[in-house]
A and B are shown apart, each in its own frame.
Chain A
Amino acid sequence: MKYEIDANQRFLEVDFNIDLDELIIKSGGKELRFQAVQVQPGVYSVLVNNRSFVVGVCPSETNRVNLNGTPINLELLDAVHLHLRELGWDSLQETKAGLISAQIPGLVTKIFHAPGDEVKVGDPLFLIEAMKMENEIKSPLTGVVKNIGIVEGQTVEKGTNIIEIV
């Protein structure tokens, strides 16, 4: 099975083939023999050409593994994804441009703008207080504030839409 590994825009083509209890990894003319045994749910002992790794895959983090204590973010793109990307449609980067949501749960203590305001990249949008720290959320976009979904003093969950910029 051909895949592409995308680790923060670093791409690696790879071919995985199952051979009994091993996985044969072919990439860039190299071949590695990979064997994994689950030691607890989501934690694997991995031997690759006899080199030992402990790998954790968290159910809540589908695009990240922890390899010998180091978290690695990566996406595994299969043939379908690769084909779609060739057609210019990137299913993995569904754009929600313009909708700024809370990255952390907390209390919104201040909103700096009202609908109709013009904002530039880096302008402070709102303050969110979590774990006793005040965090200033800056605008990732330049545009005009269309909508504000909450009021000052409101407690929000992670992912709550706060400001829409068009």
Chain B
Amino acid sequence: MFKKILIANRGEIALRVMRTCREMGIEVVAVFSEADRTAPHVLFADEAYLIGPAPSTESYLNYAKILSVAGKSGAEAIHPGYGFLSENTDFAREVSEAGIVFIGPPASAIKIMGDKTMARQKMLMTQVPVVPGTEEPIADISQALDVAKGIGFPVLIKAAGGGGGKGMRIVNAADEFEDAVGKAQRESQSAFGDGRVYVEKYLEEPHHIEFQILADTHGNTIHLNERECSIQRRYQKVIEESPSPFIDDELRSKMGQAAVETAESCNYIGAGTVEFLVDKHRNFYFLEMNTRLQVEHPVTEMVTGIDLVAEQVRIASGQPLSIKQEDICSTGHAVECRIYAEDAAHDFAPSTGEIVMLQIPDGAGTRFDGAIRQGMEITPYYDPMMGKLICWGKDRESALNRSERALREFYIGGIETTIQFCRSVIRHEVFRRGTYDTHFYANFRDELHADLAATTDEVLLVAGASLYHHKNQIKHRSNKSGSTQKARSNWVTTQLGRKD
């Protein structure tokens, strides 16, 4: 087993990986940018190395620097987390060539599956169904437009080199096509350093359902059931759950087998995720394979009891999987809410600033994977996701009740967050019934936002009185300075706070 691992990432995922490593008795090395000197992953690590200025192209994407830190620190392996260099073939190859273990699949598998066009071509050779679309990235705009017309609008433009909704655009009509391709290309270039995009059919009432895969170097490939990820906005997931309320055991087993076949088709090693779109007739199509740990992996961990990072590390060190397919048993239900620094009321615009106040929920079945603390600055340099709240319950209803309870405890003051938005989704009757698809947000947008704004007179009065009380206290405090005598009002005693 490794003695020291470098984590080539920041934020909640760096912390998530470091926690498991420490539990396994492995030392952890952090890398950080100038903006992240006091970021939580730096504080947690055994060693930490500055790798460059704040922009990620000069720090977290600078693999020459990261490799030199690996050499200097004596790390035997590199865990890339998700995003940044996790799906970069060149990085994976250079790590291996430097004699360091890349905790992830072989570069060849990343190359096939990380490139959605190549992945499609690969899948066309298997029994796994794929969504109709272009075979090649868009080179010629008028040719691509012909293909789009052939498939029929609406079509989806997607980045060939990335994921997470970046570089993705839906196009409803031919006259919007060229403009949308340009936007997708620019966004994709800036997010992944790769401006290639392609076109595919946009399915009606689709569910986004993905399967977790684990494969070792001894020829074993298993799946750990599904995650339902249909609650999205701007093609980015906000809430995920497992099991999916939409699929039954028969479909689960069919899709699980397809996921295993997908992984085997590219000789996959490590943890990966096979994403499918499932239409309302329960036809499923291969969407893409993410050759890394997913943001939402804790949902699977909560229902299967398996630490996916620990499995990744074991696989990378050459050990066989600790579990067989028939040992996989999902217990209860898990729901993840992503907490973004975004203003839900203003089209999820990123929100930056200082976290002035923070209260993180706890209690039974409540897990928060995050990397925030009071006084910390949320900068515009990196992804706006601050963490994930994952709640487990013995069944779907109790997991949802628990999520709602925990979200109510959650308080991040000073910036806008998606906490309240997640609450209004979880309260929504269609979500509660489990009959939602990926259009949930578009369909119920107004209801969700109305719910966000709904209050009673009593609540407004309490809120108003609190504001009045707070402003009075500040006034008292500033009036008090220079005076030797305490004001006699009882307001002053309350401002001092409880002593217990």
Contact = CB atoms under 8 A, between A and B. Distances in A.
Chain A partners chain B = yes
B383 A69 contact: no
B493 A12 contact: no
Nearest to B179: A124
A61 interface: yes
A8 interface: yes
Interface stretch (B22-30, B237-245, B468-476): B468-476
A57 B462 CA distance: 12
B325 interface: no
A25 to B, nearest CB: 5
Interface in B329-379: 346, 349-354, 356-357, 359
Given A37-B498, A56-B411, A61-B413, A67 B469 contact: no
Contacts of B466: 36, 44, 46, 53, 55, 57, 65, 67
B462 A56 contact: no
Contacts, number: 176
10 contacts: A5-B463, A7-B455, A18-B490, A25-B464, A42-B413, A58-B357, A70-B455, A74-B460, A106-B380, A131-B382
Tell me the dominant secondary structure on chain B's binding face.
Answer: helix
B493 A133 contact: no
Interface of B: 166, 183, 186-187, 190-191, 234, 346, 349-354, 356-357, 359, 380-384, 407-411, 413-414, 419-420, 423, 453, 455, 457-471, 473, 489-491, 493-498
A87 to B, nearest CB: 24
A17 B22 CA distance: 56
A101 interface: no
A3 B464 contact: yes
A129 B190 contact: yes
A28 B457 contact: yes
Contact of A103 (B349, B419, B464, B498): B349
Interface string A46-81: 101000011111111101011111111010100000
A1 B467 CA distance: 14
Contacts of B453: 8
Contacts of A3: 464, 468
Tell me the dominant secondary structure on chain A's binding face.
Answer: strand
A23 interface: yes
B468 A53 contact: no
Nearest to A28: B457
B114 to A, nearest CB: 17
A73 B274 CA distance: 42
B467 A42 contact: no
A7 B461 CA distance: 10
Contact of B409 (A42, A59, A69, A131): A69
Contact of B462 (A43, A55, A59): A55
B356 A16 contact: no
Contacts of B473: 38
Contacts of A46: 462, 465-466
Given A21-B493, A23-B465, A132 B191 contact: yes
Contacts of A105: 352, 380
A93 to B, nearest CB: 18
A109 interface: yes
Given A60-B353, A65-B466, A67-B462, 10 more contacts: A32-B461, A39-B497, A46-B465, A48-B458, A67-B459, A104-B349, A104-B380, A106-B350, A132-B187, A158-B352
Nearest to B381: A131
A72 B460 contact: yes
A71 B352 CA distance: 17
A27 B10 CA distance: 50
